[in-house]
Amino acid sequence: MKVFAGNSNRLLAEAICNYLNLPLGKATVRRFADQEIFVEIQENVRGEDVFVVQSTSFPTNDHLMELLIMIDAMRRSSARRITAVIPYFGYARQDRKPGPRTPISAKLVANLITEAGADRVLTLDLHAGQIQGFFDIPTDNLYAVPILSRDVKENYDLKNVMVVSPDVGGVVRARALAKRLDCQLAIVDKRRERAGESEVMNVIGDVTGKDCLLIDDIVDSGGTLCNAAEALLNKGATSVTAYITHGVLSGGAVARVTSSKLKELVITDSIQPTTAVQSAHNIRVISTSTLIGEAINRTSQEESVSSLFD
């Protein structure tokens, strides 16, 4: 088995290699003068079980293209099997046609990765589970909920905790966390009037005097999160903390979170944290390296990956 990384999340790739007790594979991923991507694999991969770690996070198109070119390089270097390890799968939010004449970008990206030559995909908390079906190659979608629930148990008194989904679409994910923590569940009924804006309408469930734990897959602008936190506090919640797998945190999101009433935002390292994230007083990052490392190990050993979540 050999593990390589593009430029999106080398820190996570190194932590995964540390868990696997392997050196990170040697590869150059750099730019020509005109910004085209140049890749060179600097060690033999002929006959190897190769894992390429790359989140398709900002700058999404560059990171996606790096991944495709790395897969192509591995294929042409006679790797036996190539697994694209994509801790954050970008373009996932365009997973259906919400209106006429719109694309399904998640399917297009799945096609690109497959056509480049990936044999398998290993990813984490896909925005919608059905995206697995967009790939006609084996795709393992890992869940961050065991890591998140462990962190909640270590840091919060569960007696007063209420798990909250920030929108109706996230109820299944929130229910999974509530079940693991044996806590009650509430829902914020969010109506989004325009793309990129969110509006909180209603809180379903009595959150008075509760320590609320919001759970979601993505925090991008921070609008959904901060509006939901505001609504919960207005309804009498004692505190609001958020557990979110993918810290996209674009534009002024970090400033929005730091100036909000959120007690804490806990994200994972599926996207490499920026220095702004690292220095934010109420944002904490927990690592997925053990989870992804163990999934890689099991894939390589042809062992069950789903039993990681039993």
Tokens of residue 139, six digits: 């795709």
Residue of 171, 151, 281 lying closest to 217 (CA atoms): 171
Q: Quick one: tokens of 208?
A: 């008075």
Give yes or no for residue 260 binding ligand R5P (CB under 6 A): no
Q: Does 176 bind ligand R5P (CB under 6 A)?
A: no
From the list 23, 129, 169, 252, which residue makes contact with ligand R5P (rule: CB under 6 A)?
Answer: 169
Burial letters for 146-181: b for 16+ Cβ neighbours within 10 Å, e otherwise?
bbbbebbeeebeeeebbbbbbbeebeebbebbbebb
Find the DSSP H helices in the chain.
10-20, 60-76, 105-116, 145-155, 171-181, 223-234, 253-258, 275-279, 289-300
Considering the complex, state which of residue 114 and residue 165 has its C-beta at the smaller distance from ligand R5P.
165
Is residue 218 a contact point for ligand R5P (CB under 6 A)? yes
Instruction: Kindly tell me which residue out of 54, 224, 241, 260 binds ligand R5P, with binding defined by CB under 6 A.
Output: 224
> Candidates 50-58, 131-139, 143-151, 220-228 — which segment interacts with ligand R5P by CB under 6 A?
220-228
Torsion, CA 87, CA 90, CA 95, CA 100, rounded to 10: 180
190 as an active site residue: the answer is yes
221 binds ligand R5P (CB under 6 A): yes
- The smaller minimum CB distance to ligand R5P, of residues 51 and 134, is found at 134
Selected binder of ligand R5P within 6, 87, 90, 170 (CB under 6 A): 170
**Based on CB atoms, which residue is closest to ligand R5P, 47 or 59?**
59
Q: Is 165 in the site for ligand R5P (CB under 6 A)?
A: no
Q: Does residue 273 have a cis bond before it (omega within 30 degrees)?
A: no
Dig out the tokens for 195 from the structure: 């793309």
Q: Which is nearer to ligand R5P, 70 or 215 (CB)?
A: 215
Nearest approach, Cβ of residue 244 and ligand R5P (Å): 8
Q: How far is the CB of 284 from ligand R5P (least distance, A)?
A: 17
Q: How far apart are CA 1 and CA 47, in angstroms?
A: 10
Q: Which of 26, 159, 190, 210 is catalytic?
A: 190
Contact residues for ligand R5P (CB under 6 A)? 166-167, 169-170, 198, 216-225
Residues carrying an active site annotation:
190
